[in-house]
A and B are shown apart, each in its own frame.
Chain A
């Protein structure tokens, strides 16, 4: 199985405080790889360190090429789409301006984005700050999906969303994952169970377990110990 991203000995710090300690893992070039772990173990910081949004050291390779010395915008231009935690849409810009800003290629994937998020089509001129949380998440996802990326880093896309919207976001991610590998931080284990092929478990700033998502979520003792939750089998079963 080929890999799109290799992370080796990644350290990250914010204001001198170490938040990622010696993280190593690989992301396969297809499917969705979930990053799991309790709150505050450094999942978000790991994504931010890969992108150079926080001070970092260690090796990060995208399709075999080192990107750990590059500035954030260069990494993104190598084909890395980022959907941050808490969406981070530009509230004083319109939906259209948010999307325009994200476009990096001559022929943006408008049809795909419009098909995935029809809600946004009629809200093009609306200020993104006045959208609901779910709609803002769609803007944030659309900003990443409007380009042809080699990898998507998606951070808690279902956080704080109503169940119906969670399904819509999961649908979009599933569809996107058919063409681009995704590294997904997600707390909602039903979503992980539905989407993820592989999983990485982080604890105390380090990777403590890697494997097939189904195997990790199927092992009740393991999930309880690493994630601090009891995982009841989901109604739909695992994929």
Chain B
């Protein structure tokens, strides 16, 4: 019983991490029809900058942790906004070129990070509580997972509130449905593009700092690994659907954890099988709309 609870809760925690990455991917795709391969690079940079800040402070203290989260979010937002302005915007409406430029950026970023921080993982320190566990129904759950769950829940709630109750949120929802009509109402939809990149990048940056605490280290490839699963989650949830991404994140991660524990470490394979299954049965994903 306690093993079951442990596998389930760590699955949900991992799903929370996936959601931090997938939410941005899904928003960006929904509005701009761009699969952003550079999203992992935003995440990695967030992680490195968070680490750099934390180690200059007292990295075992809570306030250093809080500052590193803040820095990760700001750096992620900044670099994503810059990417949109400098690389995506000049290729307006040229979706294939936009995707290719994000692929190029992803490769270049990893090389740059390796140049600066080296190719070996850098182990990080955390507040003592985060290295401890909390007992739930006999299962000892590492506290990092609670932090991941709290962060993803906070992100989901703030995104839903933002999308539902602000003008920019309304513009983004309308743009996901029919971008041309948004411009035909006199709204510069590019502002919304910049905004979803910044929001997605910020979630990825925060995700990067937390991912480093999840794995215990930062490395230039931190983002690339997570990005693969985030893409899978985004596709299964339905490209462009935020609730879809949230549900799929938890489903995929829980499935992955269970397969890893009970089926001899086959989690990654099972996830790809699940992806294939969803694509066969529901090509538009769980909550995605059909698109041509």
Mark A residues whose CB is within 8 Å of B.
51, 53, 71-73, 76-77, 82, 84, 88, 90-93, 97, 100-102, 104, 143
In the complex, are the beta carbons of A91 and B177 less than 8 A apart?
yes
In the complex, are the beta carbons of B170 and A73 less than 8 A apart?
no
Of the listed stretches B54-62, B81-89, B126-134, B184-192, chain A binds B184-192
Query: B183 near A: Cβ within 8 Å?
Result: yes
In the complex, are the beta carbons of B184 and A90 less than 8 A apart?
no
Q: Which residue of A lies closest to B186 (CB)?
A: A76
Mark B residues whose CB is within 8 Å of A.
167, 170-171, 173-174, 177-178, 180-189
In the complex, are the beta carbons of B177 and A76 less than 8 A apart?
no
In the complex, are the beta carbons of A88 and B181 less than 8 A apart?
yes
**Contacts A90-B178, A97-B170, A101-B170; A84 near B184 (Cβ below 8 A):** yes
In the complex, are the beta carbons of B173 and A53 less than 8 A apart?
no
**Interchain residue pairs A-B with the least CB separation, the first 8:** A76-B186, A72-B183, A90-B174, A77-B186, A88-B181, A73-B183, A82-B184, A102-B185
State in angstroms the CA–CA spacing of A93 and B170 once bound together: 8
In the complex, are the beta carbons of B185 and A93 less than 8 A apart?
no
Given B170, B178, B185, which contacts A143 in the complex, CB threshold below 8 Å? B185
In the complex, are the beta carbons of A100 and B183 less than 8 A apart?
no
Q: List chain B residues, Cβ under 8 A from A84.
A: 181, 184
Q: Which residue of A lies closest to B167 (CB)?
A: A100
State in angstroms the CA–CA spacing of A58 and B171 once bound together: 31
In the complex, are the beta carbons of B173 and A73 less than 8 A apart?
no
Q: List chain B residues, Cβ under 8 A from A51.
A: 184
Q: List chain B residues, Cβ under 8 A from A104.
A: 185-186
Q: List chain B residues, Cβ under 8 A from A92.
A: 173, 177
In the complex, are the beta carbons of B178 and A88 less than 8 A apart?
yes
State in angstroms the CA–CA spacing of A142 and B182 once bound together: 15
Q: Which residue of A lies closest to B171 (CB)?
A: A101
**Contacts A100-B167, A101-B174; A90 near B187 (Cβ below 8 A):** no
Given A53, A91, A101, which contacts B187 in the complex, CB threshold below 8 Å? A101
State in angstroms the CA–CA spacing of A143 and B182 once bound together: 11
Q: List chain A residues, Cβ under 8 A from B189.
A: 73
Q: Which residue of B lies closest to A94 (CB)?
A: B170
Q: List chain A residues, Cβ under 8 A from B185.
A: 73, 76, 82, 101-102, 104, 143
Given A71, A91, A101, which contacts B182 in the complex, CB threshold below 8 Å? A101
Q: List chain B residues, Cβ under 8 A from A53.
A: 180, 183-184
Q: Which residue of B lies closest to A83 (CB)?
A: B184
**Contacts A91-B177, A92-B177; A71 near B183 (Cβ below 8 A):** yes
State in angstroms the CA–CA spacing of A53 and B185 once bound together: 12
In the complex, are the beta carbons of B173 and A72 less than 8 A apart?
no
Q: Which residue of A lies closest to B164 (CB)?
A: A97
How distant is B8 from chain A, measured CB to nearest CB, in Å?
Answer: 33
Given contacts A71-B183, A93-B170, 4 further A-B contacts (CB under 8 A): A73-B184, A82-B184, A104-B185, A104-B186
- Looking at A73, A76, A82, A92, which has the most chain B CB atoms within 10 Å of its CB? A73
Q: Which residue of B lies closest to A52 (CB)?
A: B183
State in angstroms the CA–CA spacing of A48 and B174 once bound together: 19
**Contacts A93-B173, A93-B174, A100-B167; A73 near B187 (Cβ below 8 A):** yes
State in angstroms the CA–CA spacing of A72 and B187 once bound together: 9
- Looking at A92, A93, A97, A101, which has the most chain B CB atoms within 10 Å of its CB? A101
State in angstroms the CA–CA spacing of A72 and B183 once bound together: 6
State in angstroms the CA–CA spacing of A77 and B167 once bound together: 18
In the complex, are the beta carbons of B186 and A73 less than 8 A apart?
yes
State in angstroms the CA–CA spacing of A120 and B178 once bound together: 22
State in angstroms the CA–CA spacing of A91 and B181 once bound together: 12
Q: Which residue of B lies closest to A53 (CB)?
A: B180
How distant is A220 from chain B, measured CB to nearest CB, in Å?
Answer: 37
State in angstroms the CA–CA spacing of A100 and B185 once bound together: 10
State in angstroms the CA–CA spacing of A83 and B171 once bound together: 18
How distant is A72 from chain B, measured CB to nearest CB, in Å?
Answer: 4
**Contacts A93-B170, A93-B174; A73 near B181 (Cβ below 8 A):** no
Q: List chain A residues, Cβ under 8 A from B167.
A: 100-101
How distant is A129 from chain B, measured CB to nearest CB, in Å?
Answer: 9
Q: List chain A residues, Cβ under 8 A from B171.
A: 101
In the complex, are the beta carbons of B177 and A90 less than 8 A apart?
yes
How distant is A84 from chain B, measured CB to nearest CB, in Å?
Answer: 7
**Contacts A73-B189, A76-B184, A76-B185; A100 near B178 (Cβ below 8 A):** no
How distant is B269 from chain A, measured CB to nearest CB, in Å?
Answer: 36
State in angstroms the CA–CA spacing of A104 and B181 once bound together: 15
Enumerate 21 A-B pairs (CB-CB under 8 Å) in ascending A order: A53-B183, A71-B183, A73-B184, A76-B183, A82-B184, A82-B185, A84-B181, A88-B181, A90-B173, A90-B177, A90-B178, A90-B181, A91-B177, A93-B177, A97-B170, A97-B174, A100-B167, A100-B170, A101-B167, A101-B171, A101-B187
